Amino acid sequence: MKKRNMPKHCSVRFVGALTAICAVLTSGVTALGQGTITFNGANGLSSTYYQELGMWFQVVIPPGTSGVDVMGVTFGAANTPRNGTPFTYWFRQYNPYDYVGLYLTNGSTFGLTSVQLADPVNPSLSPVSISFIGYPAVGSAVTNTFTTPGPGPSTFATYTFNTQFASGLSRVDILAPRWAMDNLVFTVPEPGVGSLLLAALLAVGWREAHGRRP
């Protein structure tokens, strides 16, 4: 008995229906990979840049300004906060306009989940406001500002980013006169189960709609 092929108009409707079903199944399904920048392998660093897990930290010197400050990594030198592991710190001393920016070296978008921050001076003499300015690949800049407690012993605390920082960022700038940072948690998009399901169902649909001729 000869195998009958599905009529062309039916095959188009069949694939179209599969696409619509898959769109519903995969809508809102996003898979995110997660990483944590610990600075644990860089104790003693003093530089204008740092890289870990594909995340690049760079001191930015705005055009028309002069002088450059550096980032450092310490296990906890005298008169600094300590949390038992190395952390990075920043002091703006030689250029009142420079700052640190961060982005992924492969150009992918990312999100920020949480970070541990402290005044790098211990004991702290005053509160320190630390602003994270996120630049989405699409849309306007977003801001999260965290403020350390102020006068007294300087210790690390965990701060959580708002949902505007959850994904889609191409770059983040950190604006503050000084800060100490550890355990920066970030996310990157990964192929989700929904995307794989869509590809599989469309492949099956294509085979059914274009059956082999006898």
**pLDDT surpassing 90 at residue 143:** yes
Residue 37 has pLDDT above 60, yes or no: yes
Residue 115 pLDDT more than 50? yes
pLDDT per residue as tens digits for the range 45-94: 999 999 999 999 999 999 999 999 999 999 988 899 999 999 999 999 99
- Rounded Cα gap, residues 56 and 51, in angstroms: 5
Average pLDDT, integer, range 159-170: 98
What does pLDDT average to over the chain? 85
Structure tokens at 32: 């995110």
Give pLDDT tens digits for 180-208: 999 999 999 987 554 555 555 555 555 66
DSSP notation for 181-212: EEEEEEEEEE--HHHHHHHHHHHHHHHHHTPP
- Domain residue extents for the chain: 8-27+193-209, 32-190
So what's the pLDDT on residue 75?
93
Q: Which pLDDT score, from 0 to 100, does residue 191 have?
A: 72
Give the helix/strand (H/E) hosting 13.
Answer: helix 8-26
Instruction: Estimate the share of the chain in helix, then strand, then coil, as percent rounded to the nearest 5.
Output: 20, 40, 45
- Is it the case that residue 169 has pLDDT exceeding 80? yes
Rounded to whole angstroms, the maximal C-alpha distance in the chain is 89
Q: 157 vs 20, which has greater pLDDT?
A: 157
Fold designation for 32-190: Jelly Rolls (2.60.120)
Neighbours of 100 (CB within 10 A): 24
